[in-house]
Amino acid sequence: MRHRMAGRKLGRNSAQRKALFRNLMTELFRHGKIETTYAKAMSVRSQAEKLVTVAKRGKALRDAQSSDQAERRLVAAVLTDDAVTKHLFDEIAGRYMDRPGGYTRVSRLGPRLGDAAEMVILELV
């Protein structure tokens, strides 16, 4: 039974699920939007927003002439590309400094032709 269990399994074991989420978040920050299924988008959305919040905190520290190395390491541990980590801190975090949350948007596209899975676009606002 899954009573009081949070999260979706998505038909994968924990290592595969973690790799999927890391890849989806990396591509979201690289391109600004991704097309995926509704279940995957909703699973990745909260983690991606937390990474943006960490990057904002790091940018605020850097602006205050302090080191943001700890925040960069936290984000680099999740994302699979160092260039995307740099892009997140330098450009994306600066865009959302005045925004208290809600950095992503989910727009529905309709069912996929092959298996009728609900497709969405997950994008940065």
- pTM to 2 decimal places: 0.92
Q: pLDDT digits over 6-20, tens only?
A: 889 999 999 999 999
Give the model's pLDDT for residue 54. Answer: 96
What φ, ψ does residue 10 adopt, rounded to 5°?
60, 25
Count the domains in the chain: 1
Q: Is residue 9 included in any domain, yes or no?
A: no
Q: Is residue 5 included in any domain, yes or no?
A: no
Instruction: Tell me the two tokens of residue 68.
Output: 């943001």
Sheet strands (E) in the chain: 33-37, 104-111, 118-124
Give the model's pLDDT for residue 56. Answer: 95
pLDDT at 95 over 90: yes
- The CATH number linked to 53 is 3.90.1030.10
Q: pLDDT digits over 46-91, tens only?
A: 999 999 999 999 999 888 888 889 999 999 999 999 999 999 999 9
- Average pLDDT over every residue of 29-56: 97
